[in-house]
Amino acid sequence: MPMKLSNRTNFILTVALVFFVWLLLFFINGHMNTYMIRIVSLIGIYGVMAVSLTLINGITGIFSLGHSGFIALGAYTSALLTMSIHQKEVTFILDKVAWPFNSVQLPFLPATIIGGIVAAVFSFLIGWPSLRLSGDYLAIATLGFSEIIRILALNLRSITNGALGLKSIPQYTNVWWSWTWLLITVLFVGSLVNSSFGRALKAIREDRVAAASMGINIFKHQLLSFVIGGFFAGISGSLYAHWLTTIDPRTTSIGVMLTFNVLIMIVIGGLGSISGAIIGAGLFAILTEWLRFLEEPMKIFSFEFSGIAGLRMLVFSAMFVMVMIFWPRGIMGRKELTWNTLYSKLRRGSGESNE
Amino acid sequence: MLEIKNIEVYYGYVKALKDISLRVEEGQIVSLLGSNGAGKTTTLKTISGLLKPKSGSILFHEKIITHLDSSAIVRMGIVQCPEGRQLFPDLSVKENLLVGAITRKNRKQINDDLNQVYGLFPILRDRKNQLAGTLSGGEQQMLAIGRALMAGPKLLMLDEPSLGLAPKIVEQIFELLVNLNKEKGLTILLVEQNANAALRISDYAYILEVGTLTLEGDAKDLLKSELVQQKYLGA
Ligand SMILES: Nc1ncnc2c1ncn2[C@@H]1O[C@H](COP(=O)(O)OP(=O)(O)O)[C@@H](O)[C@H]1O
Ligand SMILES: [Mg+2]
């Protein structure tokens, strides 16, 4: 038996997997209840968020805490574009909605792409000054910028409707939209990582000085990676807005809490692994939903407890700490789950030596 | 080929190099010797464009390169094999080599060079999918040199390649440097504390002491010189 699978076999297996996942989605969409379908859509959205942050934090080694800012930009931009003109007039009661949003309504796809582009433009503007910093300073700078975006959302009332937020956003996001965008994100980021550009990004993460002495322009590479990550964050924001149907500038909505949640996903999955990011996103979505029962009123030995808000996240954090103790580098570490790793596991399992 | 004219380099307010001038002629092996903290690494980093001199100039093939950034300098053919090897430990051996070729575009040539490096260091071919961080010290040094060769250097600068290696492996690596110089015509600027071994394979050498050049000459003469023998060769 050969040591590795051929490129052709790899390709066929990947196509087969995508086909299988789509069949599964078809089944879920047709036979499961709305609640389940919504969670499956959410996994796809979280997947896009996690893979885009993996590109920035895990692969390029930029410690960014600004992800929610780009998600929010994509969310607001696209929602303002898909809402009907009438709906916007009704929603904006504090200030009238500004041009151009008072006169356009676009379908979901172009609105999402524009959301991604707006987020990418802002990542460029934010990355330009911040990426000259490194480590903790960069983390603080990006966190600060995402807070600024949130505060702007709170105060630019003629664009964002201020603290009231946007309501009655059309519920366009379904399993097809969210998983198709996840597929696109994975294919794009995946092929980027395996290109010479991606190797340069990883080299920067591993050793900046050595990377520079090999002639890699660190600033340019990091900025481009940051902008691409920002684009997909914007896309995920659009999907999220059209899944939630209401967005507002509270930190718990699409503020820093979201950044930390996405960070948790990619740290659980393995910082620097795309497949790990998707595993982390899936686990996060499923566990946080499943743990919801903790916050409902309970009856233990005939004592009635009213639900405790926030208990779910407390338990989740404890679980997160446990994962970090047993898998300090996350489930996948920096490795990818590829057909070749599965193949060599299988061969080892069937007793054939590997070397 | 390379000419440094009166450069001064500072770290903040601290002057690390004082009025350094040196030349490397095409086809030569030139050594830059000196003890710890003398400024050898600083000199190489300045040539690579990773540090900028406060005054003075650096010329490559008669062109001033002082103001260029490191990636432009690598593209001109000045490639550094950094001190302490500085590999990318979580990348595979092959990926490390390909990162070396990052400034080049011609895929076929990159592939040819990859095979050449594997020819020079067969062990790297055997380990090509292994993570660089798991190699032994000697193998890591070979990979660091291989990675530098992948950039297509005209002038290869090595920062203490013998550091921390067994004498036998040092001998092997120095032999390889001589071969690269003789057979491929590669010009080499070799930074070393191991003066004896370095002088033996060099044409010309400079000796650096606390940021100043104190002595220079043909390597053969320096090997015989009593002053050098006493100070650097432990005789
Ligand atoms: N990043 C730095 N910041 C401040 N001083 C430095 C730095 N790097 C080196 N130096 C100082 O510059 C001098 C020369 O260092 P270096 O070039 O590394 O010497 P060598 O390579 O010959 O051992 C030393 O005194 C060292 O302490
Ligand atoms: Mg040094």
Q: For ligand 1, is residue B41 a contact (CB within 6 Å)?
A: yes
Q: What atom in ligand 1 is closest to the CA of residue B12?
A: 4
Q: Distance between CA atoms of A20 and A127, rounded to whole angstroms?
A: 39
Give the residue from chain A lying closest to B75, CA to CA.
Answer: A215
Residue B82 CA to ligand 1 center (angstroms) comes to: 14
Interchain pair B87, A334: CB under 8 A: no
Q: For ligand 1, is residue B36 a contact (CB within 6 Å)?
A: yes
Domain assignment present for A9: no
Chain B contact present for A354, CB below 8 A: no
Per DSSP, the three-state class of B137 is helix
Domains and CATH numbers, chain B: 2-232 (3.40.50.300)
Q: State the alpha helices, DSSP H only, in chain A.
A: 7-31, 34-53, 67-82, 85-91, 108-130, 135-155, 157-160, 175-193, 196-206, 208-213, 218-244, 251-254, 256-269, 274-290, 311-326, 339-349
User: A106 is written with which tokens?
Assistant: 């676009």
Q: What atom in ligand 1 is closest to the CA of residue B208?
A: 22
Q: Which domain range does residue A261 map to?
A: 39-346
Distance spanning both ends of chain A, measured CA to CA: 12
Chain A contact present for B100, CB below 8 A: yes
pLDDT digits (tens, 9 = 90+) for B20-36: 999 999 999 999 999 89
Q: Distance between CA atoms of A54 and A69, rounded to whole angstroms?
A: 16
Q: Nearest residue CA, atom 2 of ligand 1? A: B11
Q: Which of B7, B8, B9, B11 to mutate for ligand 1's pocket (most ligand atoms within 8 Å of CB)?
A: B11
Is pLDDT above 70 for B214? yes
Q: Nearest residue CA, atom 14 of ligand 1? A: B39
For chain A positions 269-288, those within 8 Å of chain B (CB to CB) are 272
Domain assignment present for A34: no
Percent of chain B with pLDDT over 90: 77
Q: Report chain B residues whose CB lies below 8 A from the CB of A200.
A: 99, 102
Rg (CA), chain B: 17
Domain assignment present for A23: no
Interchain pair B103, A215: CB under 8 A: yes
Per DSSP, the three-state class of A257 is helix
Domain assignment present for A22: no
Chain A contact present for B154, CB below 8 A: no
Interchain pair A200, B86: CB under 8 A: no
Task: Measure in Å the smallest separation between the Cα of B71 and chain A Cα atoms.
Answer: 4
Domain assignment present for A149: yes
Domain assignment present for A319: yes
Domain assignment present for A20: no
Distance spanning both ends of chain B, measured CA to CA: 34
User: B125 is written with which tokens?
Assistant: 């071919």
Per DSSP, the three-state class of B15 is strand
Q: Nearest residue CA, atom 21 of ligand 1? A: B41
Position B39 scores a pLDDT of 94
Class of residue A152 by CB neighbours under 10 A (exposed 0-12, middle 13-18, buried 19+): middle
* Cα separation values, A81 from A85, A95, A152, A249, Å: 9, 18, 18, 18
Q: For ligand 1, is residue B40 a contact (CB within 6 Å)?
A: yes
Q: Which residues pair with B207 in a beta bridge?
A: B33, B215
For chain A, what is the domain count? 1
ipTM here:
0.85
User: B224 is written with which tokens?
Assistant: 């015989």
Q: Distance between CA atoms of A227 and A233, rounded to whole angstroms?
A: 10
Which residue in A5, A127, A7 sits closest to A55, CA to CA?
A: A127
Q: What is the pLDDT along chain A (355 residues), one digit of tens a residue?
A: 567 788 888 889 989 999 999 999 999 999 999 999 999 999 999 999 999 999 999 999 999 999 999 999 999 999 999 999 998 888 888 788 888 888 889 999 999 999 999 999 999 999 999 998 877 899 999 999 999 999 999 999 889 999 899 999 999 999 999 999 999 999 999 999 999 999 999 999 999 889 998 999 999 999 999 999 999 999 999 999 999 999 999 877 888 999 999 999 999 999 999 999 999 999 999 998 888 887 777 777 777 777 777 788 888 888 888 888 888 888 888 888 888 888 888 887 765 544 3
Q: Which of B48, B50, B99 sits opposite A203 (nearest CB)?
A: B99
Quote the pTM value. 0.88
Interchain pair B86, A216: CB under 8 A: no
Averaged pLDDT of chain B: 92
pLDDT digits (tens, 9 = 90+) for B140-150: 999 999 999 99
Q: Which of A199, A202, A216 sits opposite B71 (nearest CB)?
A: A216
pLDDT digits (tens, 9 = 90+) for B215-235: 899 998 888 887 777 776 654
Position B235 scores a pLDDT of 46
Q: What atom in ligand 1 is closest to the CA of residue B39?
A: 17
Angle between helices A196-206 and A218-244 (to 10 degrees): 100
Question: Which CATH number goes with the domain that contains A212?
Answer: 1.10.3470
Q: Nearest residue CA, atom 3 of ligand 1? A: B11
Domain assignment present for A33: no
Position A354 scores a pLDDT of 42
Residues ≥6 apart with Cβ < 8 Å to A145: A66, A69, A126, A130
